[in-house]
Amino acid sequence: MNKDIIAIVGPSGVGKSTIANYLTENYQVNMPICFTTREKREDDSYYHYVSEEEFLKMENNNCFFFTSGKNDKYGYMYNLENDYPTLLLTSYKNILKFYQNNPNIIIILLSFSNIKECITSRNNNRLDINKLNERIEYAINDYNNYFDKVYKICSLSLISDFYSITQVNQIISSFLLTNNIIKEQNMIRRKKK
Give the model confidence (pLDDT) of 24-48 as tens digits.
999 999 999 999 998 887 666 778 9
Q: Which domain holds residue 110?
A: 5-32+83-192
Whether residue 89 is found in the same domain as residue 132 = yes
Whether residue 169 is found in the same domain as residue 124 = yes
Whether residue 87 is found in the same domain as residue 111 = yes
Determine contact, residues 77/33, Cβ cutoff 8 Å: yes
Whether residue 165 is found in the same domain as residue 145 = yes
pLDDT tops 90 at residue 67: yes
Checking phi first, is residue 182 left (phi over 0); if not, alpha (psi -120 to 50) or beta? beta
Whether residue 174 is found in the same domain as residue 138 = yes
Q: How many domains are there within the chain?
A: 2
Whether residue 60 is found in the same domain as residue 98 = no
pLDDT of res. 193:
45
Domain boundary among 77, 100, 135: 77
Domain boundary among 24, 52, 77: 77
Whether residue 119 is found in the same domain as residue 170 = yes
Q: How many residues belong to the chain?
A: 193
CATH of residue 17? 3.40.50.300
Q: How far apart are CA 168 and CA 141, in angstroms?
A: 24
Q: How far apart are CA 84 and CA 70, in angstroms?
A: 30
pLDDT tens-digit series, residues 144-184: 999 999 999 999 998 877 788 889 999 999 999 998 888 88
pLDDT of res. 129:
84
Q: How far apart are CA 28 and CA 17, in angstroms?
A: 16
Whether residue 65 is found in the same domain as residue 123 = no
Whether residue 139 is found in the same domain as residue 66 = no
92-101 and 129-153 helices cross at what angle (nearest 10)? Answer: 40
Question: pLDDT band at residue 192, thresholds of 50, 70 and 90?
Answer: very low
Determine contact, residues 160/14, Cβ cutoff 8 Å: yes
Whether residue 111 is found in the same domain as residue 143 = yes
Domain boundary among 23, 46, 77: 77
Whether residue 10 is found in the same domain as residue 25 = yes
Residues 6+ apart with CB under 8 A from 67: 59, 73, 74, 75, 76
Whether residue 41 is found in the same domain as residue 113 = no
CATH of residue 68? 3.30.63.10
DSSP helix/strand/coil, 162: helix
Of the ranges 83-87, 103-107, 115-119, 186-190, which one carries the lowest mean pLDDT score? 186-190
Question: Which long-range CB contacts under 8 A does 64-70 form with residues at least 24 apart?
Answer: 64/35, 65/1, 65/32, 66/98, 68/94, 68/97, 69/36, 69/37, 69/38
pLDDT of res. 43:
64
